Chain A
Amino acid sequence: MLHLLVFSVFGLICVAGAINLLVQRHPINSALSLVVVMGSLAVEYLLLGAEFVAAVQVIVYAGAIMVLFVFVIMLLNAGVEERSKGSRVAMLFGVPGVLIGTVLVAWVLLARSGTGNVAVGALPGPPKVIGWLLFHDFLLPFEVTSVLVLIAIMGAVVLASHPGSKQPDKREG
């Protein structure tokens, strides 16, 4: 009972945050709504027993990625969204399409699904278990993703570097 209640509350907060993201016109407000969404999602993870994931969600997602977003918004001085000619197709086909798709999936899941119930804290909790998996069964993906992150960093540095500082290098090189 409590489980359901907590789930509903934080689920509602999630959805509210998501909708707020859509509604807000200034990107910074959208960013902050997204943080709210991530926070409530972390609670949902906790309910499911995935403590490590919840922690990583808060630390990495909300704490690093969103901060990055906020920094960029600040850097680029993104202002209020201006009105511009939208895409007719997106409006006409896209949004209704998404709505229809979601409704269909939801209907299928709610009305027909034979999936069972999930208990609170159903997942084994300690990070030790996850660590074991990471370094034994998923070692290769783990290493690859670390390389990926490295590449991403380098790429970001290259892409975002000021063109003025690059050009003298080109001329000399």
Chain B
Amino acid sequence: MVPLSYYLVLSGILFACGVTGFLIKRNIITVFMSIELMLNGVNLSFVAFAAQWHALSGQVFVFFVMVVAAAEATVGLAIIIAVYRTRETLNVDRINLLKL
């Protein structure tokens, strides 16, 4: 019997790691991966709550989150490729102008 809060703390740690990665990392792909990490953390907390309340809709929500994350990853990576083509760089700090 694991207290729910342990799951939530784990989820929080994952989320925090994701945010930190977003703030620290310079490679834009790695930044993207930190976003995925954040999403995973959130998914965990969804399922944990669903388990506690015996509500299946939590699981279904996780399903949808994953689908959306997939779509987002797809489009995001495509954008990264487009940006790389014009900027020749994957460094987040160099991509700071709105105009291409």
Q: How many residues of A contact B (CB 8 A)?
A: 87
Report the Cα distance A118→B15, complex, angstroms. 21
- By the criterion CB–CB under 8 Å, are B20 and A117 in contact? no
Question: Smallest CB–CB gap between A37 and chain B, Å?
Answer: 7
Report the Cα distance A21→B93, complex, angstroms. 19
- By the criterion CB–CB under 8 Å, are A138 and B60 in contact? yes
- By the criterion CB–CB under 8 Å, are B63 and A156 in contact? no
Contact residue among B23, B33, B80 (Cβ-Cβ distance under 8 Å from A21): B33
Task: List A116-164 residues whose CB lies under 8 Å from chain B.
Answer: 116-119, 122-124, 129-130, 133-134, 137-138, 141-142, 145, 148-149, 151-153, 155-160, 163
- By the criterion CB–CB under 8 Å, are A60 and B70 in contact? yes
- By the criterion CB–CB under 8 Å, are A18 and B4 in contact? no
Interface residues of A (CB under 8 A from B): 3-4, 7, 11, 14-15, 18-19, 21-22, 27, 30-31, 34, 37-38, 41, 44-45, 47-50, 52-53, 56-57, 60-61, 64-65, 68-69, 72-73, 75-76, 78, 81-87, 90-91, 94-95, 98-99, 101-102, 105-106, 109-110, 113, 115-119, 122-124, 129-130, 133-134, 137-138, 141-142, 145, 148-149, 151-153, 155-160, 163
